A and B are shown apart, each in its own frame.
Chain A
Amino acid sequence: MIRNQLLVCAGGACITSGEKSVKDVLVDELKKNGIEDEVQVIETGCMGACDLGPIVVVYPEGTFYQKVTAENAGLIVNEHLVKGRTVDGLLYTEPTSERKAQTSGDIPFYTRQVKRVLRNCGVIDPLSIEEYIARDGYFALGKALEMTPDDIIQVLVDSGLRGRGGAGFPTGRKWKATREAKGSPKYVVCNGDEGDPGAFMDRSVLEGDPHSIVEAMAIAGYAIGAEQGYMYVRAEYPLAIERFEYAIGKAREYGFLGRNILGAGFNFDIEIRIGAGAFVCGEETALLRSIEGKRGTPSVKPPFPAQSGLWNKPTLINNVETYANIPQIITNGAEWFRSVGTLKNPGTKVFALVGKVQNTGLVEVPMGTTLRELVFDIGGGIPGGKKFKAAQTGGPSGGVITADYLDMPIDFDSVKEIGTIMGSGGLVVLDEDNCMVDIAKFYLGFTVDESCGKCTPCREGTRQMYQMMERICDGKGRDGDIERLNKLANMIEDTSLCGLGQSAPNPVLSTIRFYEDEYRAHIYEKKCPSHVCKHLLTYSVTPDKCVGCTACARQCPVHAITGEVKKIHVIDQSKCTKCGSCYEICRFSAIRKE
């Protein structure tokens, strides 16, 4: 008889912070106390609050333990499970009210979310097909097989679901086009090549609820008339691959994949294709070439994959999060899907909330939620009392949303108007200490590395832009650089073949648009207003604050600081390498950085 269940978050972040040893300790302690038959330990997918990991939730109470370590995990067994005493020290303290949260229902990070795509993540054991079924899993497939393919597609069209990979193309229309395309066989592909720095939405779904994708791909196969599906996922996601592969095996065993599925005479199967992690393979035509075993380079559209995709056959390609919405839309209907979100952007969106924010992690909110709600209500604001500066969305293809737009509802269309993109959902919060020129340089550097090299504007143009950015950050910016960057950016956008090149200049264009003054300060005044760009910094000693403790002089690796005990010290600017170690070590705030 099971009296308690311990849910241990086995998402990527919790695993890296020591989930495995926590779980081992729990299992050991249960055995030591002889209650291993009464208390079950279950590993789940990502629970979302990644900065609180490793997380252990004790049911039926729902007690939410955070930052559990191998050292204190034993307390959960010996105190909570044996003696019935909540381990107060492991509870989450709400920073504003300083109240201890007993369950996740007491934590604002959770209460403001609407979990649809992530409804099973952190709730079920991703390796248990039975638990997925218990949460209505595979009932959508059963229902779909009793509908006509056209009816299924009509439900999707009515739902208004738009592709969650970034572009927001209407999913129903894509399915319809693939169904109507001439050619056989047809293929279903899932794009799991999530590549934006800091984004991990799709990985978490594949790790936490893999069956939802298996089910959705089978529904897609039936709807468009395909018998073969491919899951394309990058090799950097070994756990996602492992769990998805296991899910495919279980689905075959239960007859949700294979021949004559649920007795409806429909055949479908899925194979995994592992990508080597090239960013360009997230672009659909490059991804399809990679599945075919060719070099991952994009091709001209049209023809679109719906007409001519894998091996020139009609191919439906959707992103992981898009698929994750499908079974619930089939089960609950288009109206249900439209019950949250905005008119043109119904449903929810998963964001990977990272950067300068208190609560980092995976959050799911209705479309049209404002940045203020995301960053301050759910994210808990900026650490260290710093000022919010901007949020970077859309990764290397996107741009920034500034503080002026904190109250703008975020959806596919609104963010486009201010020059960035929704992208797949990476949301990096920046504060006053971030230099926008430096940030733009970082993302541009990423696309320079990831350009496949097929088109000259992308291959050479982004490199030229990067060199210009480097020069600006190094204090060698010249009059006219901003104009040159703009001109080159527009040219790259206009003349690149695929989305990677067309969007590569976005981080630069977007930051020039909102922070031209920072660019000007770098170029004309040779100053970095946020004190980030090393070559534009000067460290000096404020004479009235220096007590002559000699700490900085001893710390300086190049002996650029001179001065005697109890005498004011001086930094020799010709020797200073701007490493900042004097600034770090000074206890009297006597080192000035400007």
Chain B
Amino acid sequence: MKSLEELKRIKEQTLKEMDLRQAKERGKVIVAMGTCGIAAGAKDALMAIIEELEKADIHDVKVVQSGCMGLCDKEPTVEVAMKDQPAVIYGDVNDANARRIVREHVQGGNVVADLVIKRENI
């Protein structure tokens, strides 16, 4: 270590690894991980979402798991709850759909209409 630049580089890199521990204010993505969800591939959706957020350099959105939401038929289900916006529940979220949700909804701000199964206040 011979310079402050190098120090900054380590800081940036490690901050990414510690990212899960930071307060995330902008919103959260909830993946239903009930038995039905897991059987339908919720784990893949979860990992795809985390990967896609990382790729898009989004660090202010929390990815959390919940139990079964009750819509076993539409599993895997994922809820996107961005701050100051009505929460949206998506169904049949496979790997590719999960990535679309991150790109279009979380990143782009547009609800992925064809995957929606429920919108809050509608």
Contacts and interface: CB of A to CB of B under 8 A. Distances in A.
* Across the A-B interface, the 6 shortest Cβ-Cβ residue pairs: A84-B65, A84-B33, A134-B14, A255-B1, A130-B14, A59-B20
Given A84-B32, A84-B67, A134 B18 contact: yes
B64 interface: yes
Given A1-B47, A38-B47, A262-B1, A7 B21 contact: yes
Interface of B: 1-4, 7, 10-11, 13-15, 17-18, 20-21, 24, 31-35, 37-38, 46-47, 50-51, 54, 62-67
A256 interface: yes
Contacts of B11: 133-134, 136, 139
Interface in A460-484: none
B96 to A, nearest CB: 17
Given A2-B20, A131-B18, A262-B3, A83 B51 contact: no
Given A3-B50, A83-B38, A263-B2, A138 B64 contact: no
Nearest to B9: A133
A254 interface: yes
A414 to B, nearest CB: 35
Contacts of B17: 2, 130-131, 134
A183 to B, nearest CB: 31
Nearest to A125: B18
A60 B13 CA distance: 18
Contacts of A1: 47, 50-51, 54
Interface of A is mostly: loop
A142 B9 CA distance: 14
Contacts of A7: 21
B48 to A, nearest CB: 9
Contact of A255 (B2, B13, B35): B2
A5 interface: yes
A405 to B, nearest CB: 37
Contact of B10 (A38, A123, A133, A263): A133
A59 B38 contact: no
A130 B15 CA distance: 9
Interface string A253-275: 01110000011000000000000
Interface size class of A (residues with CB under 8 A): 20 to 34
A83 B35 contact: yes
Contacts of B14: 128, 130-131, 133-134
A196 to B, nearest CB: 33
20 contacts: A3-B20, A5-B20, A5-B21, A60-B62, A80-B65, A83-B33, A84-B34, A84-B64, A84-B66, A84-B67, A124-B18, A130-B13, A131-B17, A131-B18, A133-B7, A133-B14, A134-B11, A139-B7, A139-B11, A142-B7
A17 interface: no
A147 interface: no
Contacts of A403: none
Interface in A136-164: 136, 138-139, 142
Interface in A104-145: 123-124, 128, 130-131, 133-134, 136, 138-139, 142
B54 to A, nearest CB: 7
Contacts of A370: none
A61 B22 CA distance: 10
Given A1-B50, A59-B20, 15 more contacts: A1-B51, A2-B17, A2-B20, A3-B47, A60-B63, A83-B35, A84-B31, A84-B32, A84-B37, A130-B13, A134-B11, A142-B4, A142-B7, A254-B1, A255-B1
B53 to A, nearest CB: 10
Nearest to A79: B67
Contacts of B2: 255, 262-263
A107 to B, nearest CB: 16
A133 B18 CA distance: 11
A82 interface: yes
A4 interface: yes
Q: Which one of A84, A130, A133 has the highest number of Cβ atoms from chain B below 10 Å of its Cβ?
A: A84
Interface in A54-85: 59-61, 80-85
Contacts of A85: 66-67
A262 B1 CA distance: 6
Contact of B46 (A3, A133, A254): A3
Nearest to B49: A3
A133 B31 CA distance: 32
A134 B20 contact: no
